[in-house]
Amino acid sequence: MSVVRDIQVRAIQSGLANAFVKKHHYSGKVAPNSQLHFGAFLGGRLHGVMSFGASLDKAKIQGLVKNTGWNEFIELNRMAFDDTLPKNNESRCLGVAIRLIKKYAPHVKWIVSFADGTQCGDGTIYRASNFVLTKIGKNTTIGYSEKLGEVVAKHGTRSAIQGRVRLLDGFQLRYIYFIDKKKQGDLTVPILPYSAIDDFSAGMYKGKRISLAERKES
């Protein structure tokens, strides 16, 4: 039986990463702004992808941490795993990817990512990886386009293409990981306790609404 130490995480080409994301990410879509991709391999086969890149609203995100240079932060845009890896190893793979970023891109001080509490989950892997929770917001962007017959990110410049978009019920949760621990002192927004997820009734796991308490997760 394969063991945890046999899992390897390394940088991979975008074509390989995007094909995996399309197959295994709940949205079935890649993030066009992703530039750096890591793959999780077991027995020489790809079982997970973590894709990083610039935030779409980079200037706004930059302001979350004062004194941050334009290229000193990055967003985890996509993360997808199949069901092959041993339980709870997604967070370990993410930790290895972060260490590789720290080693080979030392200018990156922090990472931001968002959990989709309308379709997927509330960020279990982020919490297991010691990301801090900085926002729980009612969903205002993810909805169902009746014209296209699919879930889309609502965007004013694409309104003619998307047509009427019916917003999905749920929340978007924002997490930040500080590679440079000193930068946490420059955070311009409050850190929320993980328990706030239940206070907002924002709990979701694998697309099902369930509280942290019900999962026995503190």
pLDDT tens string for the chain (218 positions)? 456 678 999 999 999 999 999 999 988 889 999 999 999 999 999 999 999 999 989 999 999 999 999 999 999 999 999 999 887 899 999 999 999 999 999 999 999 999 988 888 999 999 999 999 999 998 777 766 766 666 666 654 455 566 676 777 788 999 999 999 999 999 999 999 999 999 999 999 988 889 999 988 75
**Residue 89 within a domain:** yes
Tell me, what's the pLDDT at 161?
61
Q: What's the domain count of the chain?
A: 1
| Beta carbons within 8 Å of 1's beta carbon, 6+ residues apart | none
- Classify residue 85 by its DSSP letter: S
Query: Reduced to 3 states, what is the DSSP secondary structure of residue 73?
Result: strand
- 188: helix, coil or strand? coil
Structural domain contains residue 216: no
Residue 103 neighbours by CB distance under 10 Å: 8
d(CA 75, CA 33): 9
Helix (H, G, I), strand (E, B) or coil at 176: strand
The CATH number linked to 151 is 3.40.630.30
State the pLDDT at residue 112: 99
* Residue 218 domain flag: no
Contacts of 84 (CB under 8 A, 6+ apart): 42, 45, 47
Q: Is residue 204 part of a domain?
A: no
Residue 102 located in a structural domain: yes
In a domain, 56, yes or no: yes
pLDDT value for 157: 46
What confidence score (pLDDT) does residue 163 get?
Answer: 63
Residue 215, domain member (yes or no) = no
Q: Which two tokens stand for residue 128?
A: 């297991």
Contact 128, 185 (CB under 8 A): no
In this structure, are residues 142 and 114 in contact, taking their beta carbons and an 8 Å threshold? no
Please give the residue range of the domain that contains residue 47: 4-199
